Amino acid sequence: MSNIILKIATEEDMQTVWEMQVKAFSGLLEKYQDYDISPAAESLENVMARFKQSWTTYYFIIADDIPVGVIRVIDRKDGSRKRISPIWIMQEYRNKGYAQAAMMAAEQIYGADNWSLDTILQEKGNLHLYEKMGYHQTGQIEKINDRMDIVYYEKN
């Protein structure tokens, strides 16, 4: 299992978080042309607005002192499901177990049950990861365009 730590991102880190997000999701944006919902098409202002939500925490995923990705955890602390939205690993660090390790680290902080997330139905690697982590499809699927659908997951 990959050895990572989650480091809370500060307001000063949001420019870096946004730049990483745009770069990490640009391949999917190109592939699916989902300009309305793609994290690659999101503005810095939107990311900053999310950062300022009291229920949102952004974490850098750090491996060997290198930020290899980011995970945003939403926890309203009101009994509703905690949510991962989004999580990403930079292209050059993918398929090394970092996303799985980051999700496990988030569960250690927030508790292992009552989570939700969504992902692109056509991205089989994502589906495999989330199902391996104990998530199951809710049955809700949203058609975005002719190329892609969003599938919703829950855990416990």
Assess if residue 34 is contained within a domain. Answer: yes
Q: Is 124 part of a structural domain of the chain?
A: no
Residue 68 belongs to some domain of the structure: yes
Report if residue 100 sits inside a domain. Answer: yes
| Residue closest to 41 by CA, chosen among 71, 86, 5 | 86
CATH of residue 107: 3.40.630.30
Domain that holds residue 69: 5-111
Closest CA to 47 of 79, 13, 81: 13
Say if 130 falls within a structural domain.
no
122 domain residue, yes or no: no
Per-residue pLDDT of the chain (156 residues; tens, 9 = 90+): 678 999 999 999 999 999 999 999 999 999 999 999 999 999 999 999 999 999 999 999 999 999 999 999 999 999 999 999 999 999 999 999 999 999 999 999 999 999 999 999 999 999 999 999 999 999 999 999 999 999 999 999
Is residue 64, in this structure, part of any structural domain at all? yes
Sign, Cα dihedral of 120, 109, 52, 15 = negative
Chain-centre distance for alpha carbon 90: 12
Confidence at residue 1, expressed as pLDDT on a 0 to 100 scale = 61
Render 45-60 in DSSP notation, one character per residue.
HHHHHHHTSTTEEEEE
Nearest to 82 by CA among 2, 156, 8: 156
Within a domain: 134: no
Question: Structural domain tally of the chain?
Answer: 1
